[in-house]
Amino acid sequence: MTLRADGRSAAQLRDITITRGWSTQAEGSALIEFGNTRVLCTASFTQGVPRWLKGEGTGWVTAEYAMLPRATNTRNSREAVKGKVSGRTHEISRLIGRSLRAVVDTKQLGENTIVLDCDVLQADGGTRTAAITGAYVALAEAIEWARGEKILKANAKVLTDSVAAISVGIIDGTPMLDLPYEEDVRAETDMNVVVTGSGDFVEVQGTAEGAPFKRDELDALLDLALIGTTELAQIQTETLKKSK
Amino acid sequence: MTLRADGRSAAQLRDITITRGWSTQAEGSALIEFGNTRVLCTASFTQGVPRWLKGEGTGWVTAEYAMLPRATNTRNSREAVKGKVSGRTHEISRLIGRSLRAVVDTKQLGENTIVLDCDVLQADGGTRTAAITGAYVALAEAIEWARGEKILKANAKVLTDSVAAISVGIIDGTPMLDLPYEEDVRAETDMNVVVTGSGDFVEVQGTAEGAPFKRDELDALLDLALIGTTELAQIQTETLKKSK
Amino acid sequence: MTLRADGRSAAQLRDITITRGWSTQAEGSALIEFGNTRVLCTASFTQGVPRWLKGEGTGWVTAEYAMLPRATNTRNSREAVKGKVSGRTHEISRLIGRSLRAVVDTKQLGENTIVLDCDVLQADGGTRTAAITGAYVALAEAIEWARGEKILKANAKVLTDSVAAISVGIIDGTPMLDLPYEEDVRAETDMNVVVTGSGDFVEVQGTAEGAPFKRDELDALLDLALIGTTELAQIQTETLKKSK
Amino acid sequence: MTLRADGRSAAQLRDITITRGWSTQAEGSALIEFGNTRVLCTASFTQGVPRWLKGEGTGWVTAEYAMLPRATNTRNSREAVKGKVSGRTHEISRLIGRSLRAVVDTKQLGENTIVLDCDVLQADGGTRTAAITGAYVALAEAIEWARGEKILKANAKVLTDSVAAISVGIIDGTPMLDLPYEEDVRAETDMNVVVTGSGDFVEVQGTAEGAPFKRDELDALLDLALIGTTELAQIQTETLKKSK
Amino acid sequence: MTLRADGRSAAQLRDITITRGWSTQAEGSALIEFGNTRVLCTASFTQGVPRWLKGEGTGWVTAEYAMLPRATNTRNSREAVKGKVSGRTHEISRLIGRSLRAVVDTKQLGENTIVLDCDVLQADGGTRTAAITGAYVALAEAIEWARGEKILKANAKVLTDSVAAISVGIIDGTPMLDLPYEEDVRAETDMNVVVTGSGDFVEVQGTAEGAPFKRDELDALLDLALIGTTELAQIQTETLKKSK
Amino acid sequence: MTLRADGRSAAQLRDITITRGWSTQAEGSALIEFGNTRVLCTASFTQGVPRWLKGEGTGWVTAEYAMLPRATNTRNSREAVKGKVSGRTHEISRLIGRSLRAVVDTKQLGENTIVLDCDVLQADGGTRTAAITGAYVALAEAIEWARGEKILKANAKVLTDSVAAISVGIIDGTPMLDLPYEEDVRAETDMNVVVTGSGDFVEVQGTAEGAPFKRDELDALLDLALIGTTELAQIQTETLKKSK
């Protein structure tokens, strides 16, 4: 019985592709695809930290998310032209930053800064979860680069774990994994879950889009999310094994 | 055994005070206090809806959150002077709006708009949860007002339920309810939970501030949150029974 | 013969209430009420001065005024959301700053900064004059605090005098004191007068709203204003005698 | 006994020059000089009014003031480049607009708009008073133009009076008229007075720069200001008699 | 004799790749590469025109250019975060718009709007010329799409010609074609030339970076540019022959 | 045969007037007129350079262009009020800066900064070319001033040449020099050419407004431009010979 327009079962991810080293300019980079959603993630590694952190002996990791104006089905005004970043963009940038910082030991990073840029080239639902998952690969590449450059010691254990994210939602009463745009708009409840490689939670953000949800629905969604993030963690590991 | 600096037990709320009708200008208003946190919530009811909603026969509810510059222990720059709203402010405004819309039947509201302004006069942790809880009272007052003015029919069932919110967190390994600022900064995991009067979830936002959290910790936090929101729902009901 | 809607005589102030120490966060604070007009004034005392004043041995006092969106009878857009401060807001902020600096000996203040925030919680005319009058109380409290903290010497004479302000206007040909909103919009001439405790002028701002005004009208308005500011100075003194 | 660096007596204006019709593009214009202060005033007459005034049968007069970056002795950043108009600029623009509206009968103007632009080409004190005085000439020219174009009826009495402005101040205890920059910075009290051709007040803005001022000082300054504005009114009348 | 670091001769283009139909969301799109420079060009076709063009019977074509923060060797701040578009970005957006409009017959386009977005994913010199060249392909695709959708008539001749652009410069006295970043910074004179498929000029922008240039140098640069644009026109034609 | 509305022949400039020393405040200044186009150019000389240039031993020259709101036939909104500088303004500011830097030896200037402000008081076509031509005179004056003040050595050869600019265009098939507004809007091709006193090119910016232009048309326009800039260079030289 096919429940979903794209033929997937409820607990199945879309086709996931991660192309590491996509950029020849950045210290780390990955082009990640969750089906038609495509996000270019770059990690910019610079020595030194913002002024307010100087002398603390710890590093800084931050993220910025954005969408190209025609990533979506109809064109959105460019935020730079409007002169301000939308609440949604801010919110997602902050989420990505927190998610990645959860697996970074900033003491081990030393007084260095990593900026993660996640630019959505094409959007079909799940852009923030793809961004987090891809940003982890770019981040890992940048740290590898810094070790190669002897900026970080060979044995610096900067990353304490991996991190990946997926969306889940209840559609027509059924919990489903990894929602494309057309499912996302129909979901009664929508949840983004960020999980470490070890299976612990970093962020759980559930929202009742239609009706408030019950405790057992919340439980079912969390179970489903963990299936997705486990699979994403494996893809991340395999990707990082390949040479750039 | 007293675990907490203010003498509360882990599952105990701070002193909660809701003064309805605080403003003589707004259609609905409430000054809400969670301990030292004080938020002034007003509901502005206007006939008509934004242009993009005209002719749909449905209403619109939105919210704006802000903090006075000296609500906190040290002064923050005024956002109006900086010329932009911070990511945090945007994010909380959006959260409040979604939370209140979850209990509004916009068809029953008709083509009317309610804007909820939540201005934090004094901040000591939990400002967003106090804002949601107080905004519900202001919203209910404004709907009552509109019925009195015959803008809404006497039997229009605009509110489908009540809604309240509370913060929970794990501090030194112990789940605790309703965190003041000094606990909030020490929490390993921090969660804001928005719950209807019937006990269903509207929003669940959990964040690992220190270490990622496990499934059983998540469950314990949700249990605690429901204790708090149940009590808040009772206080809201009692407050609304009093004459303005 | 009652001339005024609220039963006052032409030379009578509205009910004036000043609650000092309203904020538990700021070094100085006062909630001031001129009838239905309510302004929360806080004074933030910080050691050090802006860079351009460093090494001069003098302090800095500045002010910011703002109005909550629903302080007034209909909601105004939030200035932070519009991304700019209106001309009116700027103008009043500058007026408050100048008025308070007129009674501060910045040499005695030493290299310290005091920022006065005057946020109008509810507006019914005279918000700028209430703000100046309340800001003086917050300022005095903050200086008291700094003496207690030994940041200022016990004998530092920072305040050279007190300062208060009131509005006056000509309505239907009659000069009147302390105009609420409904009188303010009807006034032919409108004047805000800032006066020290000794009865000298700090600012005189008179504007012909309807017809230009004559010299004798100007004189009558100034006489009336001095009655009001003398009474306000007494209330300020009494308020500051009470313990916080 | 010469009191002043430029050889003037206390009650003497600087050399005043008004060149009407300076611009070949605007409906009305005047280049006004108060000594070294030079302000280009243009009046732009357009048919129609802003949307919020439509159908009221009344016109609209507004003003904008600005200073070229190198009008002053050292260069100021350009407000357009900084992306915001300063409080001072806003305040002066509002003052000019109010001053000119005081002598316009907007019913007689009909549904037409006049925008007065006052751009300071060179600044040496008194720019706002020169701007008001020059703007009146540009305004009168634009109204004359509109009569010539039959947009206004030949007998429309749009201007009810003329208006001019001058600064006065107390320097070393002596009241003085029309302060150049070097006097302005030394003044203990500074007052800008806007007066109609008939000698009535439109605006009185007095500020204690150093010490608060007494009632008799205020009186002396007003006397002096009226000497200046009477003379300016004569120069305006003569200028407008000349052909453009 | 190899003059250039990448082994090219002076009159040789870098490897040029145009992938049409790169986006599944936009009506037209092309990913264009000039060596390491990669620009994603999308064309958004919408029915209707901006208000100021309504009823004229003509269409509107406009362009926006931007660079991802980490397109370059070191990260640039995001313009949306800074809240304003730089002068350089504005200038290039305007250039792209003018260049494409030069080959569009807006009467044939009818009251339809095409927005070209050129986002530089990776930058290595020549981003504006790559953007123009790629935008033409996206534009042609969007017009093809509109014909398929019957929004444009089958015989509407919207495009009057093709258009392509290339940079040329004098390096160490030698005129060279298609400068990568490292040559661009060393060029004494730098020129961007926009040319139609028929070989006529649309834009010629030459700038003396080091020393002013002579007439014969200008001539040599124009000759070289035409070699480049002729080749680009052929590649565009071949690309558009392929199915999307 | 008179081709042009103002009676000029195709290769004839409008009346050119340069009044040097127009400002008593700036280190260098010139009011330049190309027919009805009037631009006030000031040069602000300050010791020191922006932080990013410190210690390099070289100076900095930059320019800002702006137009008064009523310089043109209908009023434009003030950029400071809109809160952003238009693309056109940015583009012209950058052009003026590049043009002047082309004749400045920044080593000879030492660590000093010159800011050129070009404010268009009245616009009738050719404002950017008048601005460049006038800015050169203001620049030369400021350098003269700095020599007089012994900030620059008497033999410092800061200016390597003079620089002037003119517009040319093809109207009804005929190349013409120095276009006023009414010709500018009718031009099929429009070119701005910046040329040194020695006759070498600094900038060539040609744009096809109507139809793309051919190589021989480009050549004819360049010939014409050189006639104009040669004459302007002579006027500049004569102006600078006069005492200020």
| Residue A15 identity | D
Distance CA D40, CA F70 (A): 10
Residue with the bigger pLDDT between A84 and A228: it is A228
pLDDT bin (cut points 50, 70, 90) of residue A72 is very high
Looking at residue F213, what is its pLDDT?
A: 94
Q: Is C204's CB within 8 Å of D205's CB?
A: yes
> Does any CB of chain F come closer than 8 Å to the CB of residue D88?
no
Looking at residue D84, what is its pLDDT?
A: 84
Mean pLDDT of D106-124: 97
In chain F, residues with a C-beta closer than 8 Å to the C-beta of D141 are none
Mean pLDDT of F21-26: 95
Smallest CA-to-CA distance from B194 within B206, B185, B202 is with B202
Given a cut of 90, whether residue F3 has pLDDT beyond it is no
In chain E, residues with a C-beta closer than 8 Å to the C-beta of F102 are 208, 212
- Chains with 3 or more CB pairs closer than 8 angstroms to C? B, D
Nearest Cβ partner of C202 from D86, D200, D208?
D208
Given a cut of 90, whether residue E82 has pLDDT beyond it is no
Q: Is A8 annotated as a binding residue?
A: no
Given a cut of 70, whether residue E239 has pLDDT beyond it is yes
Q: Is F87's CB within 8 Å of E90's CB?
A: yes
Contact call for residues B14 and B34 (beta carbons, < 8 A): yes
Give the minimum alpha-carbon distance from F36 to chain E in angstroms, rounded to a whole number: 27
Distance CA C193, CA C213 (A): 16
Distance CA F28, CA F20 (A): 8
Residue recorded with tokens 């149940």: B230
End-to-end alpha-carbon separation of chain C, Å?
A: 40
**Chain A CA closest to residue B208:** A202
Best E188, E202, E227 member to test F by mutation, with max F CBs in 10 Å, is E202
In chain C, residues with a C-beta closer than 8 Å to the C-beta of B96 are none
In chain D, residues with a C-beta closer than 8 Å to the C-beta of C204 are 191, 204-206, 218
Check residue F235 and give left, alpha or beta (phi > 0: left; psi -120 to 50: alpha). Answer: alpha
Mean pLDDT of A187-191: 93
Mean pLDDT of F70-92: 92
Mean pLDDT of C70-96: 92
CB pairs under 8 A between E and F: 90
Distance CA A221, CA D16 (A): 80
Distance CA D9, CA D177 (A): 9
In chain E, residues with a C-beta closer than 8 Å to the C-beta of F201 are 206, 208, 212-215, 218
Looking at residue B7, what is its pLDDT?
A: 92
Best F14, F34, F70, F145 member to test D by mutation, with max D CBs in 10 Å, is F70
Tokens for F124, please give them. 């009738």
**Chain F CA closest to residue E206:** F204
Best C202, C216, C223, C224 member to test D by mutation, with max D CBs in 10 Å, is C202
Nearest Cβ partner of E70 from A23, A75, A89?
A23
pLDDT bin (cut points 50, 70, 90) of residue B83 is confident
| Residue A148 identity | G
Q: Is E87's CB within 8 Å of F98's CB?
A: no
Mean pLDDT of E14-20: 97
Residue recorded with tokens 């080293």: A21
Residue length, chain D?
A: 244
Mean pLDDT of B115-140: 98
Nearest Cβ partner of E71 from A25, A70, A74?
A25
Here the ipTM equals 0.94
> Does any CB of chain F come closer than 8 Å to the CB of residue E200?
yes
Check residue A83 and give left, alpha or beta (phi > 0: left; psi -120 to 50: alpha). Answer: left
Smallest CA-to-CA distance from C62 within C79, C45, C39 is with C45
Residues 102-131 of D with CB under 8 A from C: 102
pLDDT bin (cut points 50, 70, 90) of residue A244 is low
Mean pLDDT of E23-42: 97
Interior angle at CA C128, CA C126 and CA C132, nearest 5: 120
Q: Is F24's CB within 8 Å of D36's CB?
A: yes
CB pairs under 8 A between A and E: 95
> Does any CB of chain D come closer than 8 Å to the CB of residue C94?
yes
Q: Is F40's CB within 8 Å of D68's CB?
A: yes
pLDDT bin (cut points 50, 70, 90) of residue B243 is confident
Q: Is E117's CB within 8 Å of A69's CB?
A: yes
Q: Is D126 annotated as a binding residue?
A: yes
E121 vs A25, A26, A219, D28, F10, CA distance in Å?
A: 10, 11, 41, 52, 47
* Per-residue pLDDT tens over the stretch F107-153: 999 999 999 999 999 999 999 999 999 999 999 999 999 999 999 99
> Does any CB of chain A come closer than 8 Å to the CB of residue B51?
no
Contact call for residues D144 and D61 (beta carbons, < 8 A): no
Q: Is B25's CB within 8 Å of C121's CB?
A: no
Q: Is D212's CB within 8 Å of C206's CB?
A: no
Q: Is B214's CB within 8 Å of A203's CB?
A: no
Q: Is C228 annotated as a binding residue?
A: no
Please list, in sequence order, all residues whose beta carbon lies within 8 angstroms of the beta carbon of residue A31, skipping any fewer than 6 positions away: A17, A18, A19, A22, A38, A39, A40, A41, A134
Residue C207 backbone dihedrals phi, psi, to 5 degrees: -135, 130
Give the minimum alpha-carbon distance from C201 to chain D in angstroms, rounded to a whole number: 5
> Does any CB of chain A come closer than 8 Å to the CB of residue B215?
yes
Q: Is E212's CB within 8 Å of F206's CB?
A: no
Residue with the bigger pLDDT between D1 and C184: it is C184
In chain F, residues with a C-beta closer than 8 Å to the C-beta of D36 are 24
Nearest Cβ partner of C85 from B24, B25, B80?
B80
Question: What secondary structure letter does DSSP report for C51?
Answer: G
Distance CA F14, CA F34 (A): 6
Q: Is D208's CB within 8 Å of C203's CB?
A: yes
* E strand or H helix at F208: strand F201-208
Residue F183 backbone dihedrals phi, psi, to 5 degrees: -80, -40
* Per-residue pLDDT tens over the stretch B179-204: 999 999 999 999 999 999 999 999 99
Q: Is C126 annotated as a binding residue?
A: yes
Residue F79 backbone dihedrals phi, psi, to 5 degrees: -65, -35
Question: What secondary structure letter does DSSP report for E169?
Answer: E
Looking at residue F82, what is its pLDDT?
A: 87
* Per-residue pLDDT tens over the stretch E181-218: 999 999 999 999 999 999 999 999 999 987 899 999 99
Give the minimum alpha-carbon distance from B89 to chain C in angstroms, rounded to a whole number: 10
Tokens for F195, please give them. 């040329």
Residue length, chain E?
A: 244
E214-225 per-residue burial string, b: 16 or more CB within 10 A, e: under 16: eeebbebbbebb
